[in-house]
Amino acid sequence: MNGLQSGFGAWNPIAWTLLFLGILVLALFVRSRGRRDYKRGTGQTKVFLSGNEEPEERGGLHVRADNLYWGMVDGLSGYYRRVRALHTGVLSDYVAWFIGALALMFVILVLVG
Amino acid sequence: MNALLVHAPVLLVAVPLLGAFAVPILGKLGRGVRDAFIGLIIAVTAALAGWLAADFFAGGAVPFVYQLGGQSTGIPLLSGGIPIRILLEIDGLSAFMALITALITLTGAFFSFSYWKNRSGGTLYFSLFLLLTAGIFGMQLTGDLFNFFVFLEITSIAACGLIGFRVWLRRSQEAGFKVMTLYTLSGLFVLLAIGLLYSEYGGLNMGYLAGVLGTGVLDKVALGLLLTGLAMKAGAVPLHMWAPDAYGEAPAPMSAVLVANSQASLYAVFRIVFTLFGATVSAASLGWILIVLALLTIFVGVTMALIQSDIKRLIAYGAVSQIGYMLLGVGVGLAVSGHAALPDYGLVAIQGGLFHMLNDAACVGLLFFASGAVIRAAGTRNLNQMGGLAHHMKWTTVFFVIGAFALAGVPPFNGFASKFLIYEASFQLSPFLSIIAILSSILLLAVFVKVFQAAFLGPRPAQPVAEAPVGMLIPMAVLAAVVIAFGLFPGFFVDHIVTPAAKALWDGPAAYITTVVGLGG
Amino acid sequence: MNIGNFPFVVAALLVVLGLYALLFKRNLIKIVIGISLIETGVNLFLVMAGYRTGGMAPIYTLAPTPIRDMVLPTPQALTLTSIVIGLATTALLLSFAVFIHRHYGTLDIQEIKELNG
Amino acid sequence: MSKGMSVIVRTVTRCVYGMILLYGFYVIMHGHLTPGGGFQGGAVVASAFALLLVAFGAAGIKGHLNRHLLQTLEEVGALAFLALGFLGIGTAFFYNLFAGTGGFFGAPAGQLLSAGTLPLMNWAVGLKVMTGIASIVIVMMVGRRKEETE
């Protein structure tokens, strides 16, 4: 009633949520077993940045949107160069895509289906 | 049946239309009167749609027709076997789509009140908003191809008016011109197809046409014109180029309603391939056309979203990719509906595709609303210039995260429930399909992590920003509640709403046809 | 070729001409003219679809006997509706063109591409 | 441009203006009997307004054609059309309530006061179309003028 059956697998969100909450409680429990004898205000509470000093200017720390996934976009640069070239912003090209899709659809429907 | 309920199909079109024409007059009486009137109109429309759908689904989802201008509303007049009246036909799919439209327009209108509080141009905006609402309901409820074209053009004109009515913004004018040209072009080809079908069979009624359509070349040309024209309006890759312009440049609440508009075109695609041409054209080849379109849409939409730096354009590409999931689900269902064995997963795929329409409307609406609140607070749409908004906009952040997780298909939100059905069913047709779908879903999560990191995380902004007003938060909260409810209790909604809609497609056009032409012979 | 098919050829030519304008003309106004040409072609096709050779105008009180001598009224109603829609579309497109010229200082569609990528 | 066109054009406009209006209203009123109707008649009437605008310029017609009044009348036309649709909702939306009843607008087919709500709908559509097209023409004209002064 509550879940979904696909005939192949099943999905029960309530059970999943209960499990998720259970694991969350477990994780919090493990966390609460951690050491409490660390010294505040010393190097023990500092952020560990591969041994580098933590920069003081907080404003400069924010990673801006274009810098995220730089590596991935760079790795896919061949794909992105081609796909961006298709989105020219020129209306005539968009109309050409429409005519092309129409022609292709005719060919498929009349010849194949 | 209740007297009001009998007339509900036509009232869903007529009441927003009445509002659209009365708003400019009432606008002269002051903003309070105008807003109260718009709220009343939209609330009445949504309540009628909800009531109609509830009664329809509770009553076993038996299709019925509403006849305009006849001696009675029910039985269509036949003249020589051809229904000539203007008919609205409600079956499971129409009622389901009306429910989606009601949800989005209701929340969109109430979000708009707050959005237009300190801006000018509200009267024109709401007039066009109601016109668009009437057009979308008309597209979903009509049983007549030509009226469908009229409603299609009403939505085109109203949508482009809404994209470009802020004439002082240069990019909105560019978007308005491009979108209007492409909408008109696709609309004219749809009209050409309707003209072809009319000249061949002498009828415009969908039920009648479905019963007499042949398999000649002319029918296939008409099908090609209809499919391509409507795929353009739905925003399927490679005909999607207008969609980011339209969603991105429209006012934020409008973008959500434009998605509902695209879904109405998608509904028409499903109606045409299943009901109109269901009995005549090879289901496998049509289904694979939809599947190829779907894969392109999913992949190109998500990857293009990843590199955007304009928050609304990013969400717009995300919305384009979600159109692909709906096409994938229904396309898989169509492709297997031609098999002699009729495997069960075809129905599951259609259920997934349709359920995803409902879920997508709620999540994308939520994301566009949140982006409106973010842009209002940050004063910019460029993600590179945002940061740290979560310090001041806690509720908006929560709603954005819910919408983003749901759209990316993270359990236990609703997007996962529908994508689960799509993955499982498409896996049984071909594992490649579900691999692409799952991979793109993960990429979409990465896309929204980018937005979340860039806009909401980071150090406090230099000037403190204000949380979105309550008038914006409440519509977002309603959509978030819908997202969570559909996510936690998908079984209930799939059983009661989605399955009748999916069965209307899966069981073939016989029920739709006999409702119109079976009675008079 | 039957002379009765001539209007269909004209309709097809109009649509093709309109598509040519959309694809190869750079001026916004010419693009709007192209849209109007396609629309005219489709409308001509619709009217021709309901024409009967030697038929009368479809006026109820002048209905001839046999009624088959009357041209079909439905395509004419459709064409009329489509003309009305075309009027609204053209007006909207032209006003967009006016404002684009005001903002961009050009009517060349190749230069109006801020929204790309 | 704002001064309008030559004396010949203006005089001819004065002569034919009334005739165009008359013909437009004729087409609207006989919409249920002859080819034509609300949209066509309304477009003819609006063309008379456009002629005025061309002949006398935007400044010349100031005070004669009020844009806000036109837009309000356009909404009234649309609302009247919808109201006529709602009138029949006791039976079905757009049901022709008055046709064939013998009373007002119920005369046999072929007479001016026949066909029930159809002539009324034609009037409503005619009002909407004539005011709508006129205000589009005026807005475009005024927009042009403003652009020239900038």
DSSP D67-80: HHHHHHHHHHHHHH
Residues B328 and B300 sit within 8 Å (Cβ to Cβ): no
Cis peptide before B411 (omega within 30 of 0): no
- Which of C61, C84, C95 lies closest to D39 in CB terms? C84
**Which chain C residues touch B160 with a CB distance below 8 Å?**
92, 96
- Please report the pLDDT score of residue D1 as a whole number: 46
Out of A30-39, B167-176, B332-341, D86-95, which region has the weakest mean confidence (pLDDT)?
A: D86-95
Q: Is pLDDT at D104 greater than 70 in this prediction?
A: no
Q: Is pLDDT at D105 greater than 70 in this prediction?
A: no
- Please report the pLDDT score of residue B75 as a whole number: 54
Q: Which residues contact B258 (CB under 8 A, 6 or more apart)?
A: B159, B162, B163, B246, B247, B250
- Minimal CA separation from B148 to chain C, in Å: 12
* Residue in chain A lying closest to C112 (CA): A90
Q: Please write the tens of the pLDDT for every residue from B449-507.
A: 988 888 888 877 777 788 888 889 999 999 999 999 998 988 888 888 898 898 888 88
φ, ψ of residue B240 in degrees (nearest 5): -100, 0
* pLDDT interval class at D143 (50, 70, 90): low
**Which chain C residues touch B167 with a CB distance below 8 Å?**
99
Does the distance separating the beta carbons of B185 and C35 come in below 8 Å? yes
- Please report the pLDDT score of residue D147 as a whole number: 47
* pLDDT interval class at D6 (50, 70, 90): confident
Does the distance separating the beta carbons of C93 and B192 come in below 8 Å? no
Which of A91, A94, A98, A102 is the best mutation test for C, with the most CBs of C within 10 A? Answer: A91
Does the distance separating the beta carbons of C117 and B198 come in below 8 Å? no
Out of B65-74, B288-297, B453-462, D112-121, which region has the weakest mean confidence (pLDDT)?
A: B65-74
Rounded distance, CA B448 to CA D49, Å? 54
* pLDDT interval class at B177 (50, 70, 90): very high
Q: Is pLDDT at B345 greater than 70 in this prediction?
A: yes
- Please report the pLDDT score of residue B2 as a whole number: 73
Q: Is pLDDT at A78 greater than 80 in this prediction?
A: yes
Residues D95 and B70 sit within 8 Å (Cβ to Cβ): yes
Tell me the domain boundaries of chain C.
Answer: 3-111
Q: Is pLDDT at D145 greater than 60 in this prediction?
A: no
**Which chain A residues touch B182 with a CB distance below 8 Å?**
91, 94-95, 98
Q: Which of B182, B87, B103 has the alpha carbon at shortest distance from B136?
A: B103
Residue type present at position B107: T
Does the distance separating the beta carbons of B70 and D92 come in below 8 Å? yes
Tell me the domain boundaries of chain D.
Answer: 7-149
φ, ψ of residue A4 in degrees (nearest 5): -115, 140
The SS3 call for residue B382 is: strand
Its sign, for the CA torsion C73, C74, C75, C81, is positive
Q: Is pLDDT at D142 greater than 90 in this prediction?
A: no
- Please report the pLDDT score of residue B212 as a whole number: 83
Which of B154, B174, B310 is the best mutation test for C, with the most CBs of C within 10 A? Answer: B174
- Which of A88, A95, A99 lies closest to C116 in CB terms? A88
- Please report the pLDDT score of residue B400 as a whole number: 93
Which tokens belong to B418? 């529908």
Q: Is pLDDT at D101 greater than 90 in this prediction?
A: no
Average pLDDT over residues A15-42: 88
- Please report the pLDDT score of residue B81 as a whole number: 53
Q: Please write the tens of the pLDDT for every residue from B142-155.
A: 988 889 999 999 99
Does the distance separating the beta carbons of C31 and A90 come in below 8 Å? no
**Which chain D residues touch B11 with a CB distance below 8 Å?**
93
- Mean pLDDT of the residues in chain C: 85
Evaluate whether chains A and D are touching (3 or more beta carbon pairs less than 8 Å apart).
no
Which tokens belong to D42? 């309304």
- Please report the pLDDT score of residue B238 as a whole number: 86
Looking up tokens 């109606």, which residue turns up? B271
Its sign, for the CA torsion B212, B213, B217, B221, is positive
Does the distance separating the beta carbons of A92 and C26 come in below 8 Å? yes
Looking up tokens 């309707």, which residue turns up? B194
Which tokens belong to B396? 């908006």
Angle among Cα B238, B241, B245 to the nearest 5 degrees reads 160
- Which of D76, D93, D95 lies closest to B14 in CB terms? D93
* Residue in chain C lying closest to A81 (CA): C117
Beta bridge partners of D114: D107
Q: Is pLDDT at B61 greater than 90 in this prediction?
A: no
Whether the ipTM is more than 0.85: the answer is: yes
Looking up tokens 């954005």, which residue turns up? B400
- Please report the pLDDT score of residue C68 as a whole number: 67
- Please report the pLDDT score of residue D149 as a whole number: 40
DSSP B120-148: S-HHHHHHHHHHHHHHHHHHHHB-BHHHH
- Please report the pLDDT score of residue A4 as a whole number: 79
Beta bridge partners of B136: none
Name the CATH architecture for the domain at C3-111: Orthogonal Bundle (1.10)
Rounded distance, CA B452 to CA D25, Å? 61
Q: Is pLDDT at B333 greater than 60 in this prediction?
A: yes
The SS3 call for residue A24 is: helix
- Which of C59, C61, C94 lies closest to D35 in CB terms? C59
Q: Which of B285, B283, B276 has the alpha carbon at shortest distance from B226?
A: B276
Q: Please write the tens of the pLDDT for every residue from B210-268.
A: 888 888 888 889 999 999 999 999 999 889 999 999 999 898 889 999 999 999 999 99
Which of B11, B68, B127, B147 is the best mutation test for D, with the most CBs of D within 10 A? Answer: B68
Please compute, for residue B391, the number of CA atoms within 13 A of its CA located in the half-sphere on the CB side. 13
Out of B98-102, B341-345, B359-363, which region has the weakest mean confidence (pLDDT)?
A: B341-345
Q: What is the per-residue burial (b if ≥16 Cβ within 10 Å, else e) of B110-125?
A: bbbbbbbeeeeebbbb
Q: Is pLDDT at A66 greater than 70 in this prediction?
A: yes
Q: Please write the tens of the pLDDT for every residue from D43-80.
A: 898 888 888 888 887 676 666 777 778 888 888 888 88
Q: Does C11 touch chain B (CB under 8 A)?
A: no
Please compute, for residue B394, the number of CA atoms within 13 A of its CA located in the half-sphere on the CB side. 0
List C-alpha distances in Å: B90 to B53, B189, D94: 10, 26, 19
Beta bridge partners of A79: none
Q: Which of residues 55-94 of C touch D (CB under 8 A)?
A: 57, 59-61, 80, 84, 87, 91, 94
Q: Please write the tens of the pLDDT for every residue from B384-411.
A: 888 888 888 889 999 999 999 999 988 8
Q: Does A103 touch chain C (CB under 8 A)?
A: no
Does the distance separating the beta carbons of B176 and C89 come in below 8 Å? no
Percent of chain B with pLDDT strictly greater than 90: 45
**Which chain B residues touch C108 with a CB distance below 8 Å?**
none
